[in-house]
Structure formats: structure tokens, C-alpha cells
Structure 1
Amino acid sequence: MWDLKQSFICNNMRRIQYISRFIVYLTLYVRSSSTLQMAVDPPSNIHIKDLGNLGILEMTWQPPAFINSTNECPVRYEITHQVVNEQRWKSVRIKQLTYRGAFNLEKNAVIKIRTYLRGQCTGGNEVWSEWVEVNYQVSLEGAPETKVKDFRCINHKYENLKCEWKAGVLGSNDNYELLYWQEGMSQKKTCNKYMMMNEVNIGCDFGSEEFEMFSDLFFCVAGIPGMDPIRPSYFVLQPQNIGKPGIPENLTLSMAASDELVLSWKEPKGKLPAHCFQYEILSKNQMDVWQIVANQIEISQYSVKRLESSNMCLRVRGKVNIYCAADGYWSDWSPELCWTEPPSELQLSWLYCIAAVITVFTCLCVAACIYTVRKRRHWSKKLQCKAKALVYEIDSGHTLKC
């Protein structure tokens, strides 16, 4: 009886498995057949145009053949390309037939595009075309050894931008020119104040010119028109990511009740609020070697355990944190602030005693000097009187008066 029940259960389980497999296969077949029926072509007539803004490229295309965009089946396009100065890729979906993006023109710009469908015509399923890859690269004239090296920009206190570079191999009459552009400018501009070495431009001081934060700033360092061609160098930066704040201000060092030293300061002056800064603190050990005691703290006060030695020196510097910028430079170090252990009561009593002894001894010395001088004057007068008496004894005609 038990064997019959077991075989009945096993047969039903097999039937259920067969039915489940049939349903799964049927679903997959329906989906695959609907996808095959809704196969879509990629966009056509793709073109890339350089807008002349040192890194902005515009891509245009035409819809795929035999596709009519309706409310039931809207046509969209998915575009992906690498984010400038980053390793990640950016992906967007748009309805338009044009797209603009920021690229580093010194590298090969790679853009991929495909058609994307989803709506009632696809039964709510997502349908994509094959990817179409488009490449764009500007023609780079000039010998490679003529291009600049070690290009670096620092936004001092987020108020004064300076860019510097090292010169390549140039001819006797060749020189560099820096062009820049940011969204909002009607056209690209040329540096007005160059920093020079041996009559060669090696940097640009932008002075009081203001730039938009969180917006790409495009640079190109190439040769001056009319001279021999120099290999251009392109760079894309954002002002908030190249900032160097000022030195932390109003440093104070005090002793807390817990026998710890408390270092306090105020954020550097400038455009950024206090919550945008992080700090690093160094202390000097007995061997006069600086060592880190706190790194990447976001408060303007820090407690340091007091060393066994009586003296302790601290200094601090600041940098913008990851909540306000992706990168940046550390500020210069603040002047070192040292704590000297105050003398104990016993030491103070000894100091008072020593001071009293020195005072008494000084007074005695002064009194002795005065007494000695007076005695010398007194005996000097007596000796002079004795000498005169001897002289007058010889000459009896005169009377001695002392």
C-alpha cells in the first residue's frame, strides 16, 4: 500500500515538472518571437562636429529606417561615452537627434549609440538595436617633443586661478599660447598675463577673472599663430577640483580638564562654507620630527594627548572634503603653536627663594661697594693731611690747617 502511494506521488511530481517546463519554454518562445518581430535598426547618418570650444563635440544622426515614432511606440536613443578625466562611462537616453558632450581632444573620443524601444508596440518589453561606435580625433600638428609637460592649475583660495607648465623643445622664435573656454562664454579666450622664463611662456595668471564652479573648464596650450606649429595639448578641469584654500586662522592651544591639549582654529577665509573643509594635524616629537596625529577631520577643534615632555608643538592645514569637491590641494601649513608646561608650586617656591636670595645678595654687594668707596675717600683725606703736616714741619713759617 505504501509503495502504491509513493509511486502515485512520484508520477504526479513528474507531471508537474513537465507542465512547468512547458510553461517556461512557451514564455521564452513568445518573448523571443516578439523580440524578433520587433527587431530595430540602429540610427543612420551619424556625424560628429567639433564646435570649436576646445572639447565640446556635437553628434547628430537620423532615425533608423522603417521606424515611425508614435505615442504607442516612442523611439529613444541610448548614448554612452567615457566621462572626461574619469574611468567610468556615462550613459543617457534621449528623444532628440542630437547630443553634445565634453571630451579631451588630445585623446580619441569614442561614442556609442543604439536605438531603444519600449511601449505598447513591444508589449512593455525593452528592445535595442546593435551598438554603433563612432570615433573622433583632431589632427595634431607639430612634433611631439614641442608639446608642454607637467601642466598644472591651482585655484588659490578659490579666487585666483594660475596654470603652469614646463616647456618642450622649441625653436628660437617659437612660443606658447593658452586658450580657454567655459560654458557661458561667447567664444574661447586667450591668456592676458603670462608667466615667463627665458622669454618663453610657462604659465598663465588669470587674476581676478571668475569661473563657474562644477562646470568644465577647457584649456589648450599650443603655438602662437604664424610661428612654427607646436603639438597642442588639451586639458579639461573643474575649478572646485583644483582649489587650494588659505591657511587655517586664529589658532589657539589650551589645556583641558582631562589633561589634554585642545587645538582650535577657524576655517580659511574665502567663498567656501565651513562644512566643506577637512584638516590634518601634525605634532613634533622630542627628536624634532613631525608626525601625523589626525587626518581628514572635519571639525575645527581637536584634542591631543599631552606628551610626557613639557613642550609640545602642533600645526594644521586644510583641504576641501569630498562633499564639496572631487579633488583639490592641501593648504600651506599654519605656523607651529607650542605648549610649554607651566612650573609646579614647588618650582615656583624655589624660584621665589632664589629670587629673594639674589636680591639680598645684590643689595649687600651694593652696600659693600658704597661703604668701601666712602672709606677710601676718608683715608685718602687723612693721608693728604699727614703729607701736608710733614711739609709744614719742614717749613716752620707756615701753620697747617687740616
Structure 2
Amino acid sequence: MYRKSGNFKILNLREMAFIHLDIRCLYAILICTAFGSTLSSNAEIKVNPPQDFEILDPGYLGYLYLQWQPSLSLENFKECTVEYELKYRNIDSENWKTIITKNLCYKDGFDLNKGVEAKIHTLLQGQCTNGSTVQSSWSEATYSISPQGNLETKIRDMDCTYYNWQYLFCSWKLGIGVHFDTDYNLFYWYEDLDHALQCVDYIKGNGKNIGCRFPYLESPDYKDFYICVNGSSKSQLIRPSYFIFQLQNIVKPSPPDYLSISVKSEEINLKWSMPIGPIPVKCFIYEIAFTEDDSTWVTTTFENEMYITRTSNKSQQLCFLVRNKVNIYCSDDGIWSEWSDKQCWKGDIRKETLLFFLIPFAFVSLFVLLITCLLLYNQKALLKMVFHTKKEVFSHQETLF
């Protein structure tokens, strides 16, 4: 029921509810229509994956190029933004590395002891897709070095140390069961080099190459440093080995020197000098081994000086030594230096010195006293004997007369 008021029609509650429901249905229909139109529009847009996708090895011992070309279908989408999503990994890795780029090439380092796999697809977005993202199917590529020689012929226990951030040394052990004529060669590369270089200063063991002393390296830190050690033999194939290092993570500094220790009442001051070399002062962390009489404890500090408190005023000997390595602010890891020489402080030296002289002096004095007593005793006995002899002589003479 409704009633009229002037030129207006007054609706009852039931009629108002029906009208509200109709409006909601209309909105839903409009939204679905618009969404369906967008889906229909995007469903009609199809983009092909990149073409000529490949992984190239330029001979940099693990630094590979991943490159591709845009699909020809992109000529129809000039108003759109075109990007590429690239995923890659070593074949035995669980995780993919992912990058999104507009370029047609990407470079990165890989462990060539294992195979490499990568995949890429096209991402299309912009006006031609009504703001949404359209993806192509994946294009895939793989790369691996054909294995040669038995696995046992590879070198063993490769160890590289960057001494004092200046001198790089690497050493290894020969493969298992290799023939007597087998020898190994080391090659290396990093981004500042035009091509891979061979070691020119080998460390020898029984006439075989078992290590390499590297020449001065120009700015090799904070970048991947690639090494390959392969071998040669007239009687068998030798399996090559590949390694990737970040040299700042294998730095072994020189140990600290010029240690000093001073004691004032209960306070102990420990101080040392930083090693000479190119390592910045802020890059050191120190480990201190401190001994008070028979108890020892270890602590770390970022400074080249520290203050500690004596546990007892009666402690007679305090000693400490220090070693260092590159800290987390300059590298992800590091190698501890050798321990420095020990520096010690001893208690009241005057008392010790006095005891040192008094004890022997007491023994000597006692010995002299005993000798003197013995001499006096013997002299007294001798005098008695002489006196008694003279007395007997006089008595005999009186008897004669």
C-alpha cells in the first residue's frame, strides 16, 4: 500500500526493500559484465616466449652468459611494457634465482662441477592488457661440461688463503690413483681480466704441482674469483675441478705485535699494535686469551686495547696473547691469524728477587758456618792434644830428675 502526498508517491517498507534489491542486482550485473569483458579481452591476448634462449660459456671458468631474443609477436604490442622473468640455478640446487629485466642478456657465476639450467618467459603489461600482466609460456635452456676422466682423478682438499689481504696462495692434493706422469695446472679469472690466466709460480711436491703462488692481483676483492685446476696425463683423462671464491672471505691477517700489559691496583690494561698491511683498522676483530695465575678465559673486542679487573690482588702472574681476523663489517667470513707472542706481568719482583738471593745466601752462610764450626772444633781438639802431649813431656822430665 502506498499513499500520495502532493506530487510525491510515498512507498511502504516492502516496496522499498524490493527496489533496494533490484539496485544491488543491477550493480552485480554491471561488475560481472565489466570483469567478464576484461577477462575476455585478456584471454584474447597471447604473447610468445623469448626465442633463441641459450647459455653461453665465454671461457671464464664459470661466469656464463644467458641471452635471448624477443618473440616476433611483440610487434603487435608496442603500447605495452615488455619485461622478462628469468630463473636459473645449478641443477642440484633446490632454489631458483629470479630476476626481472628488460635486457636481452644476463651474466652470473655458476659451479661448473655441476650442470646449469635456466628458464625464461615474457611479461606483458600496460594499456594493451588493461593494466593486468600477461605471461607467456616458459622457454628453457641447459648447460654442462661433458665429464672426462674418473671422479677420483680430481684434485683433493683444495685450500686457498689470502694472506694479509695481499698474497693469495692455493694448495691441493693429487687425485687418488693417478698415474705417475699426471700433473695439474691452475687457471684463474675475475672481472678485471680480459681472459683466464695460468699460474706461473707453482708450489712443487715430489716434482708435481701441488699449489700456486699468485702474482699481485689488482682489485680482486668483493667479486667472484674463479679457479679451475685441470690435469694432464698420457695414460688417462683427468677430471677438472672448478671453484668460486670471494677473496675477502679467505683473508688471514698477520698476528698483532708489540703487546704491553700494565697493572694499577685492580685494573689491568692490555694493549697491542695492529699488523702492518692494507687491511683497514675498522675491519679487525681481536680474540684475547688472558691468564691470571692458573685460570684462563677468552674474549673478543673490536679495539686494540682493553681494560679488565683482577680477580685477586694476590695474583702473581698475568699473561695474555692476541690473534685477529677480518670482521663481519668487511667480509662474510675470515681466517684467524696465528697467535701473537705471549706478554706477561709478574707480581712484586723485589720480593721474588730478594728471595732469589736470600735463599742461596742462606745456604752458603750455613755452609760457611758449619765449616767454621768444624774448623774451630778441630783446632780446639788439636790444641788439647798438643797441650796434653806437652804436659806428659813435662811430667816425664820431672820423674827423671
- Say yes or no: TM over 0.5: yes
1:179 to 2:183 alignment = no
CA-atom RMSD, angstroms? 4.3
After superposition, residues 198-347 of structure 1 pair within 5 angstroms as 198-224=206-232, 228-255=236-263, 259-284=266-291, 286-287=293-294, 292-295=297-300, 297-308=301-312, 309-342=315-348
Shift of 1:141: 0.6
Flag structure 2 segments of 5+ consecutive residues without an equivalent: 1-13, 372-401
SS at match of 2:341: coil
Q: State the distance in 1 between where 2:222 and 2:352 align.
A: 64
Aligned counterpart in structure 1 of residue 199 of structure 2, from 170, 191, 205: 191
Shift of 1:132: 3.5
Q: State the distance in 2 between where 1:283 and 1:190 align.
A: 46
Q: Which amino acid aligns with 2:310?
A: R
Change in 2 beyond 3 A, CA 1:41/1:283:
same
2:291–2:297: 8 Å Cα contact kept in structure 1?
no
Q: Which amino acid aligns with 2:143?
A: Y
Change in 2 beyond 3 A, CA 1:342/1:97:
same
Q: State the distance in 2 between where 1:269 and 1:162 align.
A: 19
Instruction: Give the equivalent residue in structure 1 for 2:84.
Output: 77
Change in 2 beyond 3 A, CA 1:356/1:340:
closer
1:211–1:239: 8 Å Cα contact kept in structure 2?
no
1:83–1:90: 8 Å Cα contact kept in structure 2?
no
1:57 to 2:64 alignment = yes
Q: State the distance in 2 between where 1:46 and 1:260 align.
A: 69
2:86–2:99: 8 Å Cα contact kept in structure 1?
yes
1:141 to 2:145 alignment = no
Identity of aligned residues (%): 34
Q: Which amino acid aligns with 1:43?
A: P
After superposition, residues 113-132 of structure 1 pair within 5 angstroms as 113-132=120-139
* TM score, norm. by length of structure 2: 0.74
Q: Which amino acid aligns with 1:306?
A: R
SS at match of 1:331: coil
Q: Which amino acid aligns with 1:173?
A: D
1:306–1:312: 8 Å Cα contact kept in structure 2?
no
* TM score, norm. by length of structure 1: 0.74
Q: State the distance in 1 between where 2:140 and 2:360 align.
A: 93
Change in 2 beyond 3 A, CA 1:151/1:330:
same
Change in 2 beyond 3 A, CA 1:282/1:23:
farther
SS at match of 1:236: strand
Of residues 25-34 and 107-116 in structure 1, the stretch that sits farther from structure 2 once superposed is 25-34
Count of residues in Structure 1 that have an aligned counterpart in Structure 2: 360
1:312–1:339: 8 Å Cα contact kept in structure 2?
yes
Of residues 45-54 and 145-154 in structure 1, the stretch that sits farther from structure 2 once superposed is 45-54
Change in 2 beyond 3 A, CA 1:230/1:15:
farther
Shift of 1:172: 1.6
